Amino acid sequence: MSNTAPAQFDIIGDVHGCLDELIALLKKLGYSLDEEKAVISKVPHNRTLVFVGDLVDRGPDSPGVLRLVMDAVLHGKALSVCGNHDDKLKRKLQGKDVQITHGLDTTLEQLRDASPQFRGQIISFIDQLPYYLVLDQGRLVICHAGIQKKYIGQQSPKIKAFCLYGRSLGTDEKGYPIRYDWAQDYDGQALVVYGHTVIKDSGFINNTINLDTGCVFGGQLTALRYPEREIVSVPANQLYYPN
């Protein structure tokens, strides 16, 4: 999963269909956009965009976010790992039996009039996303929910499940999962950048950083500039989905 892209990255947290905020954040990071088509027209010199997954669900324009990110990945401007919401959308579009919960209904509604061709493109796009990426000669790892040091460089269904969902220790009184806080136990050399668990502000814990600052819940959309380790955010325009 290593690649030879230049080792300067702008890593974006969970977008969840928040297209306007994604565009605002990309502009703040120095990217140029073709506004009419809502695709990236120019990338800052030697930089690559990286998404931590969960491009879709809950927010106002998941198809628009997919279009932008799919175009950027196709043209070598971006990389992305798969998030649990992306994976579930793919399985639903493939006709598998999945529960229409946690905002998948909003995406399906937005895709109601989508062509079979676009649906097919979404399936193939999500299907080829890795569940983690190792970049900058092993110094940087990108995943959705988390990873453990011993997993880096390995592939297995168990590791895939950990990268997509983390590990649940049970559920709380509201039925939400109590998540194993892997970052507290992480002692690897590689910086791990991830999302999945909503936090108020991003910060470094044991050489890890969570970029999910809950844009779709009225928080912020956050990016990490790497190797600068600079955090760049834009506020949500509104609360799109109550939690």
Q: Is 86 an interacting residue with respect to Mn ion (CB under 5 A)?
A: no
Q: Which is nearer to Mn ion, 54 or 61 (CB)?
A: 54
Distances (CA, A) of 15 to 22, 65, 71, 154: 7, 8, 16, 27
Residue with token string 């959705």: 144
Q: Which is nearer to Mn ion, 82 or 133 (CB)?
A: 82
Query: Residue 34: which of 61, 64, 55, 57 has the closest Cα?
Result: 64
Q: Which is nearer to Mn ion, 47 or 92 (CB)?
A: 92
Q: Which segments of 105-181 are extended strands (E)?
A: 132-135, 140-143, 168-171, 177-179
Q: How far is the CB of 15 from Mn ion (least distance, A)?
A: 9
Helix (H, G, I), strand (E, B) or coil at 12: strand
Q: How far is the CB of 102 from Mn ion (least distance, A)?
A: 9
Q: Which is nearer to Mn ion, 14 or 20 (CB)?
A: 14
Q: CA 125, 128, 130, 135 torsion: positive or negative?
A: negative
Q: From the list 9, 11, 13, 14, which residue makes contact with Mn ion (rule: CB under 5 A)?
A: 14
Q: Which two tokens stand for residue 8?
A: 């300067």
Q: Which of the stretches 14-22, 73-81, 120-128, 177-185 binds Mn ion when contact is defined by CB under 5 A?
A: 14-22
Residue 95: CB atoms within 10 A of its CB come to 8
β-pairing verdict for 140-143 and 191-194? parallel
Structural contact between residues 210 and 202, judged by C-beta atoms closer than 8 angstroms: yes
Considering only residues 41 to 80 of the shown chain, the ones binding Mn ion according to CB under 5 A are 54
Q: How far is the CB of 57 from Mn ion (least distance, A)?
A: 8
Residue whose beta carbon is closest to Mn ion:
54
Q: How far is the CB of 14 from Mn ion (least distance, A)?
A: 4
Sheet containing strand 132-135, edge to edge, reads 132-135, 140-143, 191-194, 208-210, 204-205
Q: Which is nearer to Mn ion, 14 or 87 (CB)?
A: 14
Q: How far is the CB of 187 from Mn ion (least distance, A)?
A: 25
Number of residues that bind Mn ion (CB under 5 A): 2
Q: How far is the CB of 154 from Mn ion (least distance, A)?
A: 24
> Binding residues for Mn ion, per CB under 5 A?
14, 54
